[in-house]
Amino acid sequence: MPQAEDAVEHRALVELARKGDTVAFTELLDGALGRLDGAARLIVRDPDLAHDAVQDACIRAWRDLPGLRDPDKFDGWLHRLTVNACLDQLRRRRRRPIEVDIAPIDVPAPRDPTGDLADRLALDAALERLSPAHRAVVVMHYYLGMPLPEAAATLGIPVGTAKSRLHYALIEMRVQVTGDVAPRDRVPGGQLA
């Protein structure tokens, strides 16, 4: 039953932080900063802007935490603040050339490191060409592992809009990676092949 105990402890930390306990707030952020920074880097495509966005989100979280109605929704709320801060950064710095360093992924030793690197670079380039709104859905769903309804709620958009953005983002990425301009044939059940 460690998960139930962790949830109770997490809720207690949120409650303490809501009352102004900076130590509790710091402990909550310590567990989330790595994920937030990784997601922000993928959305804004610039390490410095990502750092600024995460910092803005943390400041907003501290300022607005007393108004959080459900302490159990803290993590989703913090993700939403981070995504919104990323989108704010992008609106402020339109048309700025951006480079991103991709953090290494912990995976078993690949059989072909050159092929894996080429695949990763192709995916990175395809992700970079997406609009920030589409990129945010892809990052939240695939990088953060959020189900689409949760990602939609975090972004403050309807689930259908999140599904549509994800669908069109994946099509665009597939075109960029494979060079196919025609969509793939559908398989039974309506899913793309």
Give the whole-angstrom CA distance, residue 162 versus residue 90: 19
Longest CA pairwise span in the chain (Å): 56
Give the whole-angstrom CA distance, residue 50 versus residue 56: 10
Report the pLDDT averaged over residues 152-159.
90
Give the whole-angstrom CA distance, residue 135 versus residue 170: 10
Structure-derived torsion over alpha carbons of residues 8, 14, 19, 20, reported in degrees to the nearest 10: 130
pLDDT at site 176: 82
E strand segments, the chain = none
The residue with greater pLDDT, 110 or 12, is: 12
pLDDT tens per residue across span 120-143: 787 788 888 888 889 889 888 888
Report the pLDDT averaged over residues 107-127.
70
**What's the pTM?**
0.61
pLDDT tens per residue across span 167-190: 999 898 888 888 776 555 454 555
**pLDDT tier at 60, thresholds 50, 70, 90:** very high
Do 136 and 90 meet the contact criterion of CB atoms below 8 Å apart? no
| Mean pLDDT, the chain, integer | 82
Give the whole-angstrom CA distance, residue 157 versus residue 151: 9
pLDDT(1) > 60: no
Report the pLDDT averaged over residues 102-125.
67
Give the whole-angstrom CA distance, residue 26 versus residue 133: 29
Nearest to 50 by CA among 101, 78, 89: 89
**pLDDT tier at 98, thresholds 50, 70, 90:** low
pLDDT(81) > 90: yes
Residue 38 is which amino acid?
G
The single-letter DSSP state of residue 184 is: P
List of domains in the chain: 1-93 (1.10.1740.10), 112-187 (1.10.10.10)
186: β partners:
192
